[in-house]
Structure formats: structure tokens, C-alpha cells
Amino acid sequence: MKKEIYPCLWLDGTAREAAGFYASVFGESEIESDNGLVVMLRMSNQRFMLLNGGPLFKINPSVSFYTSLPDINEIERVWTLLVNGGSVLMPLDIYPWSKKYGWVIDRYGVSWQLTTGSIQEPDRKFVPALMLTGAMNGKARMAVEFYTSLFSNSSVKFLAGYEEGEGDVVGNIKHGQFRLNDQTFAIMESSLTQNFTFNEGISFVIECDTQEEIDFLWNSFTKEGKESMCGWLRDPFGVSWQIIPSVLSSLMSDPDRSKRVVAAFMKMKKFDIETILKA
């Protein structure tokens, strides 16, 4: 299995608007499809799903996106656009790890960590960052070990712990990076009281070619996690995933079949490829 793992942003009727906004902020973007419910956006050759899911879930900073920008002028331009209608978690300033860095929540609730120092692979402009808080704090190493055990072409790049005087539990993960299917993810944890934790506001989508792949990932994630509906689940650390068949997009683009396909998978928790192909 060597498919792109891409994020899904749960929005309340603003998916198309948000996609246009992100395209204008970051450039190198293309809206690949829009069926009213789901907008597929590609930015710098990375996919983002924007879902008009309604008001049930709200995006929060437990998942953010690191992006490295080429110079101070560009980071200030992007920061100005993102902060308009949003809020600041860490001001755009000089920090020990970067000549220019800031953490901002945009008008749609999505969090971005902007830096002028490269933290990702050359072909990955946007790096998802997981923050473990509350009951999950202290489990970052366990989470990385779990995720990298499930995917081929996976590895741990580094895990940097807090040291004395750095404001958190010594040894907890201050910042780490790992690779899944040759894609970089970041991870951190916080012992401070936070008013957020992982939810369905941001999930990660994995497209599977076979039922065996779906079964393996579903069973692995839900063994100590939680099943939901229509391919959604929460893993043992609370992170939300969508395990879906790769054939689903083509079935949904067929107007003669899409309603029957939806009716079929709305009855499912784990996807059954044979059933939706017969719909």
C-alpha cells in the first residue's frame, strides 16, 4: 500500500469558499472536483479534502499544518492573510528554532505553523502536526511506534524531548517527525491544560485498493480505538481516520450509481468493496 494519506477538513457549508481562500494564500493550487458535499483541493501537489459536514464538529489546534516559506516577505504576506478573521496562538517573531515563526488559526479554524526554516521533505510543503494533550499527553512515542508499524516505507526521523527549564515534563516530546508511506508527519505533546483534543474536525483519509487493506487498517486502528460510520474511526490516541476504497471516487462521479452507492455505504461502518460495487 503506497497511497497518499491526505487530510479532510470538516466545514459547515464553506468548503468551496475555503478552498478558494487557501488557493489564493498558498498558490500552486487546483480545485480538482466539487460535488457540493466534498471539494478536493490540490496545493503544491498535496491533496486536501474539504467536507461540508455541517456544525457537528469544529476544527481545533490538535492538528495543525507546518509549512516552510522561502523568505520573510513571503511569510509575512501569508501570515497577514491567514490572521485576518482568525487568531494568534504564537506571534510571528524570532524564536530559537527559526528566524521567523508563528502559529495562527485562520477564519475557518484551521491552524498553521509558519516558518522560514525547512522542516519537511522537498516534495511536501505541508506537514500535518499532531498535538497530544490531556489523557493522551505522554503517549507520543507510543503513537509514533504504532503508526509506523502499520505502513510500509515508514520510519522515525527524530523525537526531541523537553529538557529542564523548557516548561513541560522532561522527556515528553517537544517536537518529533516520522514518515508514513514516505510522507512526513510531525508530533508534539503538551502537559498544559488545553481546551481541545482530537476530534473529527480534521481526519486523515487512506484510500485502499483491496478489501484486505481495508480490513487490516480498520482492525488495527479500532482494536483499541472506536468504530464510527461510513469508513470513519478513531484510533487508540483519538485521531480520526477515514478508511475508504480507492474506487469510491469514480463510483461517486457516476450520476447513475452515486445515489445507490451512498445508500449502500450509509449502512456500513467498515467499507465492503463488493457491496458498493454491486449497488
Q: What kind and span of H or E run contains 52?
A: strand 46-52
Q: Is residue 219 part of a domain?
A: yes
Burial class (CB in 10 A: 0-12, 13-18, 19+), 21: middle
Residues 117 and 55 in one domain: yes
181 contacts 2 by C-beta, under 8 angstroms: yes
**Residue-range definition of the domain harbouring residue 215:** 208-238+247-257+267-278
- What's 253's domain CATH number? 3.10.180.10
| Apex 184 CA angle, 147 and 109, nearest 5 | 90
Looking at the structure, do residues 217 and 175 belong to the same domain, yes or no?
no
In-domain check, residue 195: no
Q: What is the pLDDT along the chain (279 residues), one digit of tens a residue?
A: 557 899 999 999 999 999 999 999 999 999 999 988 999 999 998 999 999 999 999 999 999 999 999 889 999 999 999 999 999 999 999 998 889 999 999 999 999 999 986 555 556 799 999 999 999 999 999 999 999 999 988 999 999 999 998 888 999 999 999 999 989 999 999 998 899 999 999 999 999 999 999 999 999 999 999 999 999 999 999 999 999 999 998 888 888 888 898 898 989 999 999 999 988
Output the pTM of the full model.
Answer: 0.94
Question: Is 200 among the domain residues?
Answer: no
Q: Specify if 131 maps to a domain.
A: yes
Count Cβ atoms below 10 Å from residue 202 Cβ, excluding itself. 25
Residues 216, 170 share a domain? no
Same domain? 223 vs 161 = no
Tell whether the torsion through CA atoms of 15, 19, 20 and 22 is positive or negative. Answer: positive
Q: Are residues 253 and 147 in the same domain?
A: no
Residue 199: inside a domain: no
Residues 272 and 180 grouped into a single domain:
no
Q: How many domains would you assign to the chain?
A: 2
The answer to whether residue 203 is domain-embedded is no
Is 202 part of a structural domain of the chain?
A: no
Both 171 and 218 in a single domain?
A: no
